[in-house]
């Protein structure tokens, strides 16, 4: 599991992006723990446009400078509010290594066999000891407290001579997050009525809605806008 931070730690610098809330949902477990979670996705940008001096990989295994000139960075912001009555640890695992291909098939991104995540060097929320990216954990979150992480998923190898703007990044999707509380795993459900950019694809990995970086691209490739899940 990832290295955790205290829920009372100072807020990390926000990613330099304008976000639209794209996925809102609720996580619950059998012990009564519950949280409201929002996942916001910004407009992808070339990695060299970010502050490279302060940008660091979320694990020591990530060499984020190698191939940066061919990498697009997808800004993300994750916000968790504990809605249950007893303080607990909250863990969240993101997954964004799949793309929507024509026909609505959601396939492993050939450029991203594993997630590569980055944040500013002062943000330890995504720093993991086991080399697993996309894992966040906050310790001892109080009832009603909101915690936030901002960073980027790096989509490597998408800027090519044939695609100099890296437009292939618009095919990326994010699966339902894995959520856990201090007692163990939790169930997560998107609230489609409060979300945007949710689609359902005939060939997707899981049965529930997924977040599309660009839903118009997902729909053009055979997915449909998601209704209540």
- pLDDT tens per residue across span 44-103: 999 988 887 777 777 655 567 888 899 999 998 999 999 999 999 999 988 777 888 888
Whether the pLDDT of residue 229 is over 60: the answer is no
Q: Looking at residues 216-223, what average pLDDT do you find? A: 91
b/e for 67-104, b at 16 or more Cβ within 10 A? Answer: ebebbbbbbbbbbbbbebeeebbbbbbbbbbbbbeeeb
Residue-level pLDDT at 206: 66
Query: HSE on the CB side for 219, CA within 13 Å?
Result: 9
In whole numbers, what is the pLDDT of the chain averaged over residues? Answer: 81
pTM (two decimals): 0.83
Residue-level pLDDT at 2: 38
**DSSP per residue, 81-150:** EE-SSS-EEEEEE----EEEETTTEEEE-TT-SS--EEEETT--TT-BSSS-TTEEEEEEEPTT-EEEEE
For residue 95 the two structure tokens come to 């997954």
Q: Are 126 and 2 in contact (CB under 8 A)?
A: yes
Residue of 62, 167, 225 lying closest to 211 (CA atoms): 225
Question: Could you read off the pLDDT of 101-147 as tens digits, one per residue?
Answer: 888 888 777 666 556 788 765 555 665 545 456 788 888 999 999 99
Residue-level pLDDT at 103: 80
Residue-level pLDDT at 60: 57
210-212 and 172-174: which strand pairing?
A: antiparallel
Residue-level pLDDT at 5: 45
Residue-level pLDDT at 143: 98
Residue-level pLDDT at 118: 82
Model confidence at 18, in pLDDT bands (50, 70, 90)?
low
Q: What are phi and psi of 169, to 5 degrees?
A: -65, -25
Whether the pLDDT of residue 12 is over 50: the answer is no
Whether the pLDDT of residue 34 is over 90: the answer is yes
Residue-level pLDDT at 228: 44
């Amino acid at each position: 599991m990832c290295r955790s931070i205290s829920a009372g730690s100072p807020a990390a610098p926000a990613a330099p992006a304008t976000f639209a809330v794209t996925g809102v949902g609720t996580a619950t477990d059998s012990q009564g723990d519950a949280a409201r979670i929002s996942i916001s996705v910004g407009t992808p940008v070339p990695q060299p446009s970010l502050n490279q001096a302060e940008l660091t990989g979320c694990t020591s295994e990530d060499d984020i400078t190698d191939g940066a000139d061919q990498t697009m960075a997808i800004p993300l912001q994750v916000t968790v509010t504990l809605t249950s009555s007893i303080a607990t640890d909250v863990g969240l695992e993101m997954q964004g290594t799949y793309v929507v291909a024509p026909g609505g098939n959601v396939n492993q991104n050939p450029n991203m066999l594993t997630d590569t995540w980055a944040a500013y060097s002062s943000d330890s929320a995504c720093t993991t000891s086991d080399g697993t990216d996309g894992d966040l954990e906050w310790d001892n979150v109080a009832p009603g407290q909101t915690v936030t992480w901002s960073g980027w998923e790096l989509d490597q190898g998408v800027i090519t001579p044939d695609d100099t703007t890296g437009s292939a990044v618009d095919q990326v999707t994010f699966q339902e997050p894995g959520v856990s509380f201090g007692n163990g795993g939790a169930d997560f459900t998107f609230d489609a009525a409060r979300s945007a950019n949710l689609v359902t694809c005939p060939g997707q990995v899981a049965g529930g809605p997924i977040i599309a970086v660009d839903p118009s691209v997902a729909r053009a490739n055979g997915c449909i806008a998601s209704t209540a899940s």
